[in-house]
Amino acid sequence: MTVIDRATVPTPPVLEAAASGAKPSAPQVTAALLEAERQTKAERRQLAPEALLGTWRLRFTAPKKPAYKAGKPQGSGFYMPGVAIASLCFSRDDDQLTIQNQLQVGPAKLRFTGPAKFLPKKNLLAFDFARLQVLVGNLTLINVPLRSKAAKAGDFAATSVAKLPFFSFFLAEEGYVAARGRSGGLALWVRK
């Protein structure tokens, strides 16, 4: 198994189209995400965490645990509406990864931030939200620490992934990434 900068699975044209702004049907995008996930797992491809760094806008999500049933892709999803902008930002300071998850509607922003760690054997990015902020424009209305699972345990680095939320990434291209969340849903993010 080798580590690569990008999971260079032959990307279905459907995902390229969805990432570039077109809107293929939700079942088509879900099927393409399932196929990319299947190929990455079958070939045991590893992503480098650097491939995930940056800010990503949620483009498409299939939250109802899509999967193959009897060899056929099952499940559907939806494109994020333009009025609600959901984004993820991954950054690194020295050896520490940080995640920021934000939902913006108009000038209002709900933002969660915290530490993250990448486990390359399974392409898992585990994280723990340690701070909640509510902003309107650049004015911070709420900025409070969260009593997270790792905070209760006392040390994020030592906290088992089994106790943390995570994303299992299976596709990382220059302009978009795709992952399955701990809850089983699939998501496609485009670079912001």
pLDDT in tens, 70-99: 778 888 899 999 999 999 999 998 888 999
In angstroms, rounded to a whole number, what is the distance separating the alpha carbons of residues 80 and 70?
A: 29
Backbone angle region of 66, left / alpha / beta, with phi > 0 → left and psi within -120 to 50 → alpha: beta
pTM of the model: 0.88
pLDDT tens digits, 104-154: 999 999 999 999 999 999 999 999 999 999 999 999 999 999 987 666 656
Structural domain boundaries in the chain: 3-191
67, β-bridge pairs: 74
Confidence of residue 164 (pLDDT cuts 50, 70, 90): very high
pLDDT at 3 over 50: no
Is 155 or 24 the better-scoring residue by pLDDT? 24
pLDDT digits (tens, 9 = 90+) for 7-47: 444 567 999 999 999 999 999 999 999 999 999 999 998 99
Measure Cα distances from 102 to 91, 114, 115, 133, 148 in Å: 14, 12, 15, 9, 17
CATH, domain 3-191, list 1.10.1660, 1.10.443, 2.40.128, 3.30.70:
2.40.128
Where is average pLDDT lowest: 7-16, 61-70, 183-192? 7-16
